[in-house]
Chain A
Amino acid sequence: MIWRVAPWMSVLAVVVAWQVLAASGAVTPFMLPGPGVVAERIWTDLASGELAQNLSRTLYRALSGFAIAAAAGIGLGVLIARSRAARWLFDPLISVGFPMPKIAFLPIITLWLGFYDVAKISMIVFDSIFPVVTATVAGAIGVERELLWSARSVGASERETLREVVLPAALPEILTGLQVALPIALIVCIVTEMKMGGIGLGGAMITASRFADSPGVFAGIVEIAIAGYVLVKLMALARRRLLVWHREALAPTTV
């Protein structure tokens, strides 16, 4: 028998189980508000514009941080790949920094940069840049030398080779790094917002929890989950578009 279950069916199953559990009386409505209550709350927030305000602020911070981390990370990664000195300097810093819970540095960043967006975005950049750099270095170093030599052989300069061969060749790995960095940017954004409060999905959720507003908290979880899912899907789509030449392996036209 073929067990093919469409994603929405899984979600439906979860919602149904949720409803059953909530209605059963085994847990209080406070601990587990029913799906209907949560959906209603999301709707209210949407209608009042509050959801749009929080969501847009969160996305603004997360995506700004991500974009900066991407640009700086790729630049730094290429530098490290090409310069032995840079590699010697940065390799231990990155390898030590990678497994550190960098969120621990948030109070320091707050001390230096205050409580506004600059601080939040800086924290996001600090956390997200690591996977971008490691992926870029791996991709740039792994470029086959025959590709580089072919370019030089037809007259490309070192600079041109970097731009026209190294970067495109490293693109699959770089994109993988970016795909890892994006969820990190979102997570860090939410945490900083929770710490500092105010506008934003994280801030709204922590406020809700302070007021023991459990439908608000659950609504926040659903909203963030959907935002995260959409972003990741968009990123995957972008990857497919950019790497169309990679995927052509699936459609041979041999003679």
Chain B
Amino acid sequence: MRRVLRYLPIALVAAAWEATVRLGWISPEVLPPPTEVLAAGWKLMRAGDLWANTAASLWRAGAGLALAVVVGSALGVLMAWWRPVDALVSPLVEMLYPMPKSALIPITVLWLGFGDGSKILLIFLGCMLPVTIGAYNGARSSEQTLVWSARSLGASRIGVLRDVVLPSALPELANGVRTALALSFVLLVSSELIVARSGLGYLIGFLGEGGVYDAMFAVVLIVAFLGFFADRAYQAAVKRVLAWRE
């Protein structure tokens, strides 16, 4: 019960939103009331446009993120484990960190056009960074005493990597992936708003240009809440897996 009450202010905001439009303070053109937005969203769902575009978006984000997680973790652990790799790649990571990943949008389009490929590549490239950093920090943080204990019990170098370093690295890695998850949504929406012919971002732009604002608001909120729920779901899943941490 307390959980629900915690989100009460959001309901209040929605109520205030409805009220200001109904009272005529703001034109419903510019700010369709929540009731109309919900109705428009429902209509979209029934019509099927929503599903097709959602599927396209989720596929892109999912593929890009999955690739980023696999390659990024491998790279991060490699960097933490072998000094020459670290020495070479660390400065690059540091330099690329502040670069706006969205700057890669035009180049991915140039290479792969307006379709799925460019988005997947963009998300892969953009999300690699937080994953790599998380894996790197995580791998480095594994306590020396744990590693030595494993070695003295007869573990090989690879064995130590698998049985000590990787599990210790998981919490930080999980954090990095969480950042990457949020970033994947941002990059997905950004690229779909600008250079796409399908997908949720594209749908938003399409509805906006057509003047169908209530439906546009609906999709914006759907996308926003998708990002929110993805984060919450991820955190819940991580908590389960990392239960030993407590």
Contacts and interface: CB of A to CB of B under 8 A. Distances in A.
Q: Do A and B bind each other?
A: yes
Interface of A: 3-7, 9-11, 13-14, 30-31, 88-93, 96, 99-108, 110-112, 183, 186-187, 190-191, 194-195, 201-202, 205-206, 208-209, 212, 214, 217-218, 220-221, 224-225, 228-229, 231-232
Contact of B106 (A110, A194, A228): A194
A121 B147 CA distance: 50
A221 B88 contact: no
Interface string B7-31: 1111011000000000000000010
B89 interface: yes
A224 B224 CA distance: 27
B220 A107 contact: yes
A92 B104 contact: no
Contact of A220 (B95, B103, B216, B225): B103
A229 B99 contact: yes
Interface of B: 6-10, 12-13, 30, 83-84, 86-92, 94-107, 109-111, 182, 185-186, 188-190, 193-195, 201, 204-205, 208, 213, 216-217, 220, 223-225, 227-228, 230-232
Q: Sorted from nearest, which 10 A-B pairs have the closest CB atoms? A: A99-B231, A209-B106, A232-B98, A7-B91, A228-B98, A187-B100, A3-B87, A101-B185, A10-B91, A225-B99
A191 B182 CA distance: 16
A229 B110 contact: no
Contacts of A99: 182, 185, 227-228, 230-232
29 contacts: A10-B89, A11-B92, A90-B9, A91-B6, A92-B7, A92-B8, A93-B9, A99-B182, A99-B231, A101-B186, A101-B188, A103-B189, A107-B193, A108-B217, A110-B208, A187-B101, A190-B102, A194-B105, A205-B105, A206-B106, A206-B194, A214-B107, A214-B110, A217-B106, A218-B107, A221-B99, A224-B100, A225-B96, A232-B97
A57 B142 CA distance: 46
A7 B91 CA distance: 5
Nearest to A102: B224
Contacts of B107: 209, 214, 217-218, 221
Contacts of A89: 9, 12
A103 B224 CA distance: 9
Contacts of B86: 3
